[in-house]
Amino acid sequence: MAVVRFKYRNASPPGGVYEYSLNGETVSDRSRIEISRKATRMRIQAGLLVFGDGFPHVMEYMCPSLPNGFCTAPSTGKSVNPAEVKRQTSTLFGMRLLPVDEIERREEICRNCPSHQRRGFCPTCTGLHQWVYNGFRGQRPKIPQDIICGACAEDLFLVVASASVADLPPTPGANYPEGCWRIQKEA
């Protein structure tokens, strides 16, 4: 079976950020050359073979969650539009925030969730997390694990924002997976 790849090798993915993940470590970059180098380095450190310049591994990793038609095989993930996520997230600004330990607990649940979408939401590349901190007018502190948080494909909120606010009811029409904090009753 052929390796899944971008239909057009030089195409930039939606959002303009390439990503690759291996053994729980994720790297991202706007440069195809740099992400290839990073993926190659990660694979060598893990004792894995590297094909070509490393970019085939990046494409194979990214394709399942890219929009249908972008790659040589259909997407298996839900497509999440960064502009829609930003619009949805902005509705949370001004809401009451939770203590840091509860934010961390929620982020941990989200991070391990099948609906958690990081591809296209590189916080260091896009500035989205800083946008969230500014949206909460500096009241939402930076937490080290924020860096690994993306967006929820079910409700289209950035996790650093949704995990931070109190009294956030489930979004109508969202199909939250079992174990999601959004469908658990708060104590």
Q: What is the pLDDT of residues 19-71, one digit of tens each?
A: 898 987 888 888 999 999 999 999 999 999 999 999 999 999 888 777 778 88
Distances from the Cα of 141 to the Cαs of 96, 113, 130, in angstroms?
13, 23, 10
Task: Give the pLDDT of residue 123.
Answer: 65
Output Rg (C-alpha) for the chain, integer angstroms: 17
Residue 149 in this model has a pLDDT that exceeds 60: yes
CA 66 and chain centroid, separation: 12
Range 28-31 contact pairs with CB under 8 angstroms and sequence separation of 24 or more = 28/122, 28/124, 28/125, 29/125, 30/125
pLDDT > 90: what percent of the chain?
A: 45
48/57 Cα distance (integer angstroms)? 11
- Residue at 164: amino acid letter: S
The mean pLDDT value for 86-101 works out to: 95
The secondary structure element, H or E, covering residue 143 is: none
Across residues 93-108, what is the average pLDDT? 95
Instruction: Tell me which H or E stretch contains 66.
Output: none
The yes-or-no verdict on residue 128 having pLDDT over 90 is no
- Rounded to two decimals, the pTM is 0.66
Stronger pLDDT, 147 or 45, i.e. the higher one: 45
DSSP 71: B
What is the residue-averaged pLDDT of the chain?
87
Does the pLDDT of residue 79 top 70, yes or no?
Answer: no
Residue 155 in this model has a pLDDT that exceeds 50: yes
Is the pLDDT assigned to residue 122 strictly greater than 70? no
Nearest to 120 by CA among 156, 81, 84: 81
More confident residue, 119 or 39: 39
Q: What type of residue sits at position 32?
A: R
Q: Is the CA virtual torsion 7, 11, 17, 22 positive or negative?
A: positive
**If you average pLDDT over residues 135-153, what whole number do you get?**
90
